[in-house]
Amino acid sequence: MSQLVLSVPETVTSHYVIATSDPLDDPRAVVPWRVPEPFRAAAVEALATPRLGIFTIAADEATWRLDDLLASEDDRRRVRESSHQVLVVHRAATVDQPRGEQIARAVARAIADASDGVLIDPQARQVVLRDGLARVERGWFRMGDQWFGTRYEVNEAAGRPTHDVDFRGTESCSCLRITLLGLRRFGLPDLVIENIACAHELPALSLLRSLACRLLTDQWQWARLHPRQPTRPLDDHPKIDPDDFWTFWGATPFVDGRPITLRLVPISRTILKVMPPEAYPGTQTAWGRDVLVPAMPPLVGCPADEDSPWPRPAENEA
């Protein structure tokens, strides 16, 4: 085992896009009234500084891609048909996260509500939900509240089953590559795991989320204790505990899990690859079956303790 060195940027930048056909004359004017109380004063203060910028452009002037978003068909249609896009640009000190990012998204939500627009998180490549408990920012930070998106890539040559097979239940392939997106807004690399069997998709995603929870918690603590240090050490074989999974969802454990040790390999400045420990004797696919699956609670998602007592077991998903 050895130490990696992670950068701790002094400031981080994020973006939100509101696709709308009813652009507001002055998007800033909605902030005092539509931003929820926990963030209202801070949002007004941020708008008076260069930290938070709001710009409106015609949709055909946009230079960013919005064609591969995780979104409903209705939201995709609304994005395609929108005449304008409102860009919310946020710049914050790493030591002020995650509160600063919540303020920025609360502002973006307020503009989307006032303009009947679709709120897009380009860094997570997804539309931010507007219904249910997800439509407002919590007064506290829960990592599972759509801060991270996913990208799935399939290697057709890696034993993927034929189309007439339910490949979610197939353990013989190693065709999946999953990337967890959205960590860059907090000053961390995105996470990727590859050579995963189709049947192990959920445990692999849960591992990435748990690891993100651990990395973020450690990053914010380091930034507070070492405010002028541009880098920090990181064990390349961290042990992820079941508590990291439950902290991600802000929930009390109700399904058993196991600690799991993994290996982190930097493959670029912006991506960390997750692999089996260096001493593991088998393949990554075997590690997924024999180690990863038993370690991760079999849950697609979990409400926070303050939301609902009812979990969503994986086996009940369609």
**Interval 61-72: pLDDT, tens:** 988 878 789 999
Q: Would you kindly state where each structural domain of the chain is located, as residue ranges?
A: 10-135, 149-302
What does the CA dihedral 10, 149, 290, 278 come to, rounded to 10 degrees? -30
* pLDDT at residue 310, as a whole number: 57
- Report which residue type is found at 254: F
Residue 205 has pLDDT above 90, yes or no: yes
Question: How many CB atoms are located within 10 Å of the residue 24 CB?
Answer: 18
Backbone φ, ψ for residue 278 (5° rounding): -60, -30
- Tens of pLDDT, residues 7-38: 999 999 999 999 999 999 999 999 988 998 88
* pLDDT at residue 241, as a whole number: 94
CATH for the stretch 10-135: 3.30.1400
Q: What is the pTM of this model?
A: 0.91
- Report which residue type is found at 212: A
Residue 249 has pLDDT above 90, yes or no: yes
Q: 311 to each of 128, 211, 247, how far by Cα in Å?
A: 21, 21, 15
The arithmetic mean of pLDDT across residues 162-178, rounded, is 67
* pLDDT at residue 272, as a whole number: 97
- Tens of pLDDT, residues 108-163: 999 999 999 999 999 999 999 876 545 678 889 999 999 999 999 988 766 555 55
- Tens of pLDDT, residues 217-240: 999 999 999 988 999 999 999 999
Give percent of the chain with pLDDT exceeding 70. Answer: 90
* pLDDT at residue 92, as a whole number: 92
* pLDDT at residue 207, as a whole number: 98
Residue 175 has pLDDT above 50, yes or no: yes
* pLDDT at residue 142, as a whole number: 94
Residue 56 has pLDDT above 90, yes or no: yes
What does the CA dihedral 70, 275, 293, 6 come to, rounded to 10 degrees? -70
The arithmetic mean of pLDDT across residues 293-313, rounded, is 81
* pLDDT at residue 317, as a whole number: 42
Q: 109 to each of 39, 124, 147, 200, how far by Cα in Å?
A: 12, 16, 14, 34
Q: 141 to each of 216, 241, 281, 301, how far by Cα in Å?
A: 12, 20, 39, 16
